[in-house]
Amino acid sequence: MPRAATRPAALACGRKHARTLGQLADPRRFPAIARFAAAGVSERSDPPEKEFTFGLERMLDGIADLIRERA
């Protein structure tokens, strides 16, 4: 599938996800999530390569933290 064809679908998915988070996240209990949903961050999109790299870095950060905790 061409990248251009996936961009609108990805943006629509991000908007739906942000709306769902906004509905489910109690701002008193999860203030950071509520601010994230309200800020419209999911309505923007970076190039797929940048999004992949960002996600991979977060996963590797989490693995590194787990290794440090168990060492």
The model's confidence at residue 1, banded by pLDDT at 50, 70 and 90, is: very low
Can you give the pLDDT at residue 7? 67
- Tell me, what amino acid is at 58? R
- Residue 23 domain boundaries: 3-70
What is the full DSSP assignment across 6-52? HHHHHHHHHHHHHHHHHHHS-TTT-HHHHHHHHHTGGG----HHHHH
CA distance 2 to 67: 38
- pLDDT at res. 22: 78
Give 13-42 pLDDT, tens digit per residue: 777 877 788 788 888 998 988 888 788 777
CB count in 10 Å sphere of residue 35 = 12
Distance CA 71, CA 59 (A): 19
Total-model pTM: 0.47
**Higher per-residue pLDDT: 52 or 16:** 52
**Domain count within the chain:** 1
**pLDDT at residue number 6:** 59
